[in-house]
């Protein structure tokens, strides 16, 4: 019998920094107009890094909604987050915006609407960039949400099957109805997705407590790699340091 015990890898936590109008904000259910302001995005990211973050989930909400961008702020955050991985999302829909996103120094780019509306382009990007590309599956029920969650983007299972065929490296799964609500993650949805892919999955939406972190930690053996944490951290429900302890138990 081995003297070494086999331990399940830790759940990776990605504290969120969502940027709109140059400020760090949080939305409820992804709806424009529900923003709560949390100040300078660079300061927000610095706080998470000080508490032990190894990843930051950085979103340009203005780009996602098609109302401009915060590229100068995004670059500032990534520059200040040296030594920490950044997953960047928001408005990346063609070669030009993808190249701009990659040039920021982000470790991973999260495609959203483009993966739904332009399958051939998405497949070519997945083939070219591999692990540097994740696809966000933003869901209401089993219907995907696109264009900053303002339009329907097709059936979840049909799109997932297509992305599997294209060789997508990773999925970020968000229950839109849970996002920013502090009502707990949609564990059933996550399990259903993980049953249909061997690729790592990152959970997003609804985390409200350390118990939720523990519940997600238990899914690591099924293929859950990480979880994006937003409103609960900003609301002070727990600290990132506390969450990281639970995620590694």
User: What does the alpha-carbon distance between residue 246 and residue 249 come to, in Å, rounded to a whole number?
Assistant: 5
Q: Residue by residue, what is the 3-state secondary structure of 194-246?
A: HHCCCCCEEEECCCCCHHHHHHHHCCHHHCEEEEEECHHHHCCCCCHHHHHHH
Q: Which two tokens stand for residue 156?
A: 């979840």
Element (H or E) spanning 21, and its range? none
Q: Please, are residues 207 and 55 in contact by the beta-carbon 8 Å criterion?
A: no
Residues involved in catalysis: 18, 138
CB-based contacts of 83: which residues, under 8 Å, 6+ apart?
A: none
Q: Which residues pair with 85 in a beta bridge?
A: 55
């Amino acid at each position: 019998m081995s003297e070494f015990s086999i331990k399940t890898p830790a759940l990776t936590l990605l504290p969120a920094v969502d940027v709109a109008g140059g400020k760090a904000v949080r939305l409820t259910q992804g709806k424009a107009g529900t923003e709560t302001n949390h100040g300078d995005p660079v300061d927000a990211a610095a706080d998470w890094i000080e508490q032990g973050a190894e990843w930051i989930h950085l979103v340009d909400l203005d780009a996602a909604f098609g109302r401009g961008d915060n590229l100068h702020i995004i670059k500032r955050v990534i520059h200040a987050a040296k030594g920490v991985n950044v997953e960047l999302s928001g408005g990346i829909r063609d070669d030009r915006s993808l190249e701009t996103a990659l040039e920021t120094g982000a470790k991973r780019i999260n495609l959203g609407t483009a993966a739904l509306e332009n399958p051939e382009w998405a497949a070519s990007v997945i083939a070219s960039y591999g692990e540097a590309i994740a696809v966000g599956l933003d869901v209401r029920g089993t219907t995907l949400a696109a264009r900053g969650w303002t339009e329907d983007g097709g059936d979840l299972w049909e799109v997932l099957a297509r992305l599997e065929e294209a060789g997508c490296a990773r999925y970020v799964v968000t229950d839109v109805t849970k996002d920013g609500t502090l009502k707990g993650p949609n564990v059933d949805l996550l399990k259903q997705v993980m049953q249909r892919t061997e690729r790592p999955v990152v959970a997003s939406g609804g985390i409200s407590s350390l118990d939720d972190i523990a519940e997600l930690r238990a899914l690591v053996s099924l293929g859950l790699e990480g979880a994006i944490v937003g409103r609960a951290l900003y609301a002070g429900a727990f600290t990132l340091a506390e969450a990281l302890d639970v995620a590694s138990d």
